[in-house]
Structure formats: C-alpha cells, structure tokens
C-alpha cells in the first residue's frame, strides 16, 4: 500500500511539472487550482525537514550524532461545491500513514462542524504546525502530555463581545485512542477548549504560530484552557504512548496557556496536569514487604509540566528564542523529574516556508547526569 501511494505521488508530481505552473509563488503549493465555475478548489503542497543532532552525555563524556529526515509530507486542502464545505488532507511520506483527513462544514453563521481525523484542540504548542515552530521541535511538555490527533467530530463556534473581544469555543468527541486506530474504541475521548482574545484577532492567524512574523503593531493576546477526559485509555499517555496490557483507567487532562505578540516580540506559556480518575496511575508494579513500590512494570504517564518560551524577530528576519520546560511526573510512577533549557536561532528566508533553525538544549534529569543536545534543521515547503 505504501509503495502504491508513493508511486501515485511520483506520477502526480511528474504530471504537475509537465504543466505551466509558473504563476505559482514559492510556498503557495505545487498546484493551486479553482474550477471555472468556482464549484471547487484545491491546493496541494509538499514539505520536508532535514535535521542534524549531536548529543554530549556527561555521564561518560561521549559525543554521538546523526543526520536524518525529520518530516516529509504531502498536504492538500480546498473546498467542494461551496467555500463553506472545506477539507484538509495530510499524508506522512516518511513514515507511511495518514495524519489528517477531515471535512469542515460551516453550516450556520459562526458554527462549523469538523468530521474525520485531525488534531484535537489541545495545548497551544501542539496546535502550531510543525512547519511553523519557533525552535527546532516542540517541548518536553508536548511530548509527554499532548493530546495529538484523533478521529471523531468537532463543533466550533465563535462570537465577539463589544468591538474586539473575540471568544472561540471548541468541543470534540473522538475515539480516544489516537492516530490511525481502526479497532473499536474502548471508551471515547471528550475535549473542550475555550480561547479568549481580548484585543481581537492576530494578523493572518498569527495566534497559531509562535514567532511574530507579522510584526503586530498593537498588542495581541490569547488566553486559553482545555479539558480532556479519556475513558478507558488504552495508551499510557491517553492518545499516545505504549499500549496498556493491564486494567484500563480514565484519564483527566487540563491545559492552560497564553500567547502574546507585539512588534517582533513573542511569548507563549503552557501548564498541564494529568491524573487517573479511576484508580492508581500504576497498573503493574513490584512491591516490598512494607507495600511500597520499588519497581514499576506498567503505568500511565501522569503529573504536571510547565513550558515558557519567548523570542524576538529582528528586522533582518533573524530571530533569537529561548525556552524553559519543567516536567514533574506523579511520584508513584517513578518517572524522573526533568528540567530543560533551550536557546535557539532562526533565519527566515521565505517565512516558515524556507528557513534554517538551530538550538542547543541542556537537560537535567533526576538521578541521571546532564545531557547537552545540539540541533540544526532546514524547512522546505513548496
């Protein structure tokens, strides 16, 4: 199946480049077409990231490195019959599976329903596209606690208070098992998110990417909160992680985040907490004679984390950014506390469509020696 999809992609690209597409600007898609009667439109693009990573481990003073393809994807979007009926599709060429396949129907005024597989309305950092990150990759908070993608339905609504105060609400019911799960669900996931924008909309959806590439002339702020309840979560981190072999638990996750921009300066902060509501997060463990856990064989990843990130974009399109992340797992799970400090730079050649990014991170993990991570990455998006 993967070979057939890859072959289709190669034939498609060959067909595209056999046509006159000289009017397409870089970053606007390999193909961008609207029918003569305006009954449908489609945009297809391809993007990839190449990365170098070097790691220095203080425990044995060794340095190891590698170079690899981090992401390679085909993206499609457009509308059919009416601009009120939109779609989005994204295929992971590198790993060979569908990421997004969702229909979006604006059925009444400010009300829109989504159906299919796509990102859940979770933490702000996860909602940012991996193409539009301020540092080389997302934080440890995201990797440990994100809701990620899931299949189901989402209801979205927005309204304005006064002249500028924008309120957006999102409600989702999903399978609860994460990406590309075809088996019947063990229990559904229920997610709600509210976003408050007291100073109105960011310029050109600037609330959904980290850097202030639009150089907001006046302050822009988004305050948000997300609640997720995952019944009988089959995986250790809800929609992600290892599959649980023992008794399943219900997981409750709460995110609170803020995003601010003005004149090249940007900041966002996130806080998350997750707990098991139907029993201990530890599913299987080894106990001593006093009934204390001395080794965990299987558990859910519960606890809390905080992530703070800021950057400044200079007029020459160079940006300097920094991040602090603290992960505090629930003590009973015996997972280690981690502090991570990251300093990075970006050079935006054509916005997020063509850029070079690098960063260096110091990770301090409890009971382990410090580790320094060096990363360099390029982003190329047609």
Q: DSSP letters of 32-44?
A: EEE-TTSSEEEEE
Does residue 102 surpass a pLDDT of 80? yes
For residues 147, 148, 153 and 154, what is the CA-based torsion angle, rounded to 10 degrees?
70
Q: Residue 262: pLDDT band by 50, 70, 90 thresholds?
A: very high
Q: What is the band of 175 on the pLDDT scale with cuts at 50, 70, 90?
A: very high
- Percent with pLDDT over 90 in the chain: 83
Predicted confidence band at 112 (pLDDT cuts at 50, 70, 90)?
very high
Give the pairing type, strands 354-365 and 303-313. Answer: unpaired
- Tell me the residue ranges of DSSP E strands in the chain: 31-34, 40-57, 62-80, 82-92, 97-108, 111-119, 149-161, 165-174, 189-197, 220-233, 249-262, 265-276, 282-287, 293-299, 303-313, 318-329, 338-350, 354-365, 371-381
pLDDT given for residue 33 in this prediction:
86
* Structural domains in the chain (count): 1
- pLDDT (0 to 100) of residue 5: 57
Q: What is the CATH number of the domain that holds 352?
A: 2.40.160.10
**Predicted confidence band of residue 152 (pLDDT cuts 50, 70, 90):** very high
Which DSSP letter does residue 20 get?
-
First to last CA, the chain: 25
The phi, psi pair for 132, rounded to 5°, reads -115, 40
Given a cut of 70, is residue 17 above it in pLDDT? no
Residue-level pLDDT at 257: 97
Are the C-beta atoms of 86 and 41 separated by less than 8 Å? no
Q: Render 44-68 in DSSP notation, one character per residue.
A: EEEEEEEEEEEEEETTTTEEEEEEE
pLDDT attached to residue 140? 98
Measure CA 380 to chain center.
Answer: 18
- Say if residues 205 and 189 touch (Cβ distance below 8 Å): no
- Say yes or no to pLDDT of 21 above 80: no
- Provide the pLDDT for residue 31: 83
pLDDT tens digits along 211-253: 999 999 999 999 999 999 999 999 999 999 999 999 999 999 9
d(CA 180, CA 177): 9
pLDDT at 375: 98
Read off the pLDDT band of 355 (50, 70, 90). very high
- Tell me, what's the pLDDT at 30? 80
**Residues 249 and 300 sit within 8 Å (Cβ to Cβ):** yes
Domain containing 146: what range? Answer: 2-381
What's the token pair of residue 334? Answer: 């015996």
Which of 270 and 8 is assigned the larger pLDDT? 270
């Amino acid at each position: 199946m993967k070979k057939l999809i890859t072959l289709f992609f190669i034939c498609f690209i060959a067909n595209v480049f056999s046509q006159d597409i000289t009017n397409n600007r870089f970053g606007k898609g390999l193909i961008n077409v609207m029918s003569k009667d305006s009954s449908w439109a489609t945009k297809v693009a391809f993007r990839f990231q190449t990365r170098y990573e070097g790691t220095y481990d203080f425990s044995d003073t060794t340095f190891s490195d590698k170079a690899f393809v981090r992401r390679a994807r085909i993206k499609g979007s457009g509308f059919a019959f009416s601009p009120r009926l939109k779609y989005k599709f994204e295929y992971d060429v590198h790993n060979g599976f569908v990421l997004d396949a969702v229909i979006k129907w604006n059925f009444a005024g400010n009300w829109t329903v989504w159906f299919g597989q796509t990102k859940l309305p979770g933490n702000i950092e996860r909602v940012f596209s991996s193409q539009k990150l301020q540092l080389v990759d997302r934080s440890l908070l995201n990797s440990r606690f994100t809701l990620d993608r899931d299949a189901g339905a989402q209801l979205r609504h927005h309204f304005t208070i006064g002249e500028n105060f924008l309120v957006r609400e999102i409600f989702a019911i999903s399978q609860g098992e994460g990406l590309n799960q075809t088996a019947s669900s063990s229990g559904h996931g229920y997610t709600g998110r509210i976003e408050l924008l007291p100073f109105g909309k960011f310029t050109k959806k600037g609330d959904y990417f980290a850097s202030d590439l639009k150089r907001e002339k006046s302050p822009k702020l988004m305050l948000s909160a997300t609640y997720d309840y995952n019944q009988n979560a089959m995986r250790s981190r809800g929609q992600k992680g290892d599959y649980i072999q023992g008794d399943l638990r219900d997981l409750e996750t709460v995110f609170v985040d803020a995003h601010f921009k003005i004149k090249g300066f940007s900041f966002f902060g996130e806080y998350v907490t997750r707990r098991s509501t139907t029993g201990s997060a530890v599913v299987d463990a080894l106990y001593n004679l006093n009934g204390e856990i001395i080794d965990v064989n299987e558990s859910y990843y519960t606890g809390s984390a905080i992530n703070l990130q800021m950057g400044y974009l200079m007029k020459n399109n160079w940006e300097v950014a920094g991040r602090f992340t603290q992960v505090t797992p629930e003590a009973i799970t015996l997972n280690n506390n981690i502090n991570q400090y990251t300093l990075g730079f970006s050079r935006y050649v054509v916005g997020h469509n063509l850029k070079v990014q690098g960063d260096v991170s110091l990770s301090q993990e409890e009971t382990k020696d410090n580790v320094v991570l060096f990363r360099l990455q390029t982003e190329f998006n047609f």
